[in-house]
Chains A and B, each alone.
Chain A
């Protein structure tokens, strides 16, 4: 039964390779190529996109009005990422310092809410932020404020929602990099007479940089696309890139423009990943130098 059979070897090998290349060509490369092509075509209400090729959609992306939208939504996602980092960094640091059992418990506790549907979580935020929601009721009943404040349907609400949905993605890579950061290293530098701030800037921060960058990427990239957060919490006017793209594809039907927007997003993503690789290399090289110095 198990005699070497050359034909069979070839066929299994071929099967696996064909499957890999075939699937990826059809489902990843071809669709991306189609989107790139669409972005250079001319919009048409009936046939979605027609010849001739043109650069019109890209020049539209650069029009002040859409350029503003682009940057506004980038800004919303960036603020959400920053808030995630500001909360997540100390949180991950404290967690990483705990004994393993406590750390495991806290991590599980952090993940439990994330096993319900992400939409439902976004909707839960709505119940908290409304004028008769939890926060306003508490503030008014304790007499801190007299009139409820408007939080729902503002940029603030969108950011709170994004942070709520994405926070664990920031915390997980950070904890991993804090774990790698050995306690000995900071003890050693303490002996060398470095103070807390120096230790943080020269040792802790550079060595956790890969975790920071990874966390920021995993938060920032999806944050741009989460149209349902903006729909539910932003009152259909604080738009994320996801809303603009969805709108162009499913409402306005300007597919070339929607495609051009997506391609711009992909290019930006590639640039950020490239920066990540560069930064990682830089950190590793620095790490190497530090080792030599020690």
Chain B
């Protein structure tokens, strides 16, 4: 009895999670524009999506920003984690609280703080404001992953290196960074995903010149049922499933 209940619950949750996605994927092949009834199989929406220049430009912009923001956040975040772990300095507590605030604040609050700042500085909203905002909201996630790994370190290693006469910079580059690489990469990956998926902050801090994918998609779905969105969702889903499979194959090979 209990077992049936358990299986049923898990099954229902998965139906809830997957039903909307399945409808999207099926409709992406539906000939009819308004996918309320099935009117035949067709690739035409895929062709249309690939011919949609504005969407592809927005996608390139999103990928560029995600790549740059994740990389910058990984670099700066690693150095911040190091500063907080290794050194004692004034306002250290303030620095870690600031990072904590960024991590916990609802996106909407961060978005308006960025907007107010950029407007106060008289910056033109666009590429640079978007990049600065994305780096900042990704930072705490890098700091946390890197810091967690630093805490697990043997401090003697660093001291030994410095006893041998290595400079701080040298120690960082030749000893710490290679050791920290897994957590830096994890932070990078997390930042990349966060940046790519962000709607709320981007819609406040970007300008007309730099339309990003989520904003483009937002105006498309607001307008209504659009088969191209179904196609886009299907493609994104396919990409993540494929990369998941590749990733797990790689991991398995390493283990065996």
Contact = CB atoms under 8 A, between A and B. Distances in A.
Direct contact of A and B (CB under 8 A): yes
- A-side interface mostly: helix
A117 B170 contact: no
Interface string A36-69: 0010000000001000000000000000000000
Interface string B228-241: 01001100110011
A241 B108 contact: yes
Interface stretch (A178-186, A257-265, A281-289): A257-265
A113 B23 CA distance: 13
Contacts of B127: none
B229 A120 contact: yes
A134 B37 CA distance: 10
A4 B94 CA distance: 32
B17 A110 contact: yes
Given A35-B116, A224-B106, A246-B108, A119 B79 contact: no
Which of A24, A28, A94, A255 gathers the greatest number of chain B CB atoms within 10 Å? Answer: A28
A115 B102 contact: no
Contacts of B114: 27, 31
A225 interface: yes
Nearest to B107: A225
A176 interface: no
A242 B108 contact: yes
Contact of B117 (A3, A9, A30, A87): A30
A28 B229 contact: no
Contact of A27 (B14, B24, B136): B136
B249 interface: no
Interface stretch (A124-132, A187-195, A198-206): A124-132
Given A28-B102, A32-B101, A242-B200, A164 B16 contact: yes
B229 A90 contact: no
A155 B200 CA distance: 21
- B-side interface mostly: helix
Contacts of A255: 116
A40 B66 CA distance: 35
A9 to B, nearest CB: 5
Contacts of A4: 165, 167
Which of A87, A119, A228, A266 gathers the greatest number of chain B CB atoms within 10 Å? Answer: A119
B98 A24 contact: yes
B104 interface: yes
Interface string B92-113: 0011001101101111110011
A110 B21 CA distance: 12
Which of A16, A29, A245 gathers the greatest number of chain B CB atoms within 10 Å? Answer: A16
Interface in A105-142: 106, 108-110, 112-113, 115-128, 132, 134
A255 to B, nearest CB: 7
Interface stretch (B42-50, B82-90, B150-158): B82-90
A124 B24 contact: yes
Interface string A248-278: 0110000100110010011001000100000
Given A5-B167, A269-B106, 18 more contacts: A2-B170, A8-B168, A23-B139, A31-B116, A91-B10, A95-B10, A108-B244, A110-B14, A112-B237, A116-B233, A118-B197, A119-B221, A164-B16, A222-B106, A228-B218, A262-B113, A265-B106, A273-B104
Q: 6 nearest interchain CB pairs? A: A124-B20, A225-B108, A115-B240, A31-B113, A225-B106, A31-B117
Interface of B: 6, 9-10, 13-14, 16-21, 23-24, 27, 35-36, 76, 79-80, 82-84, 87, 89, 91, 94-95, 98-99, 101-102, 104-109, 112-117, 119-120, 132, 136, 139, 164-170, 172, 193, 197, 199-200, 204, 213-214, 217-218, 221-222, 225, 229, 232-233, 236-237, 240-241, 244
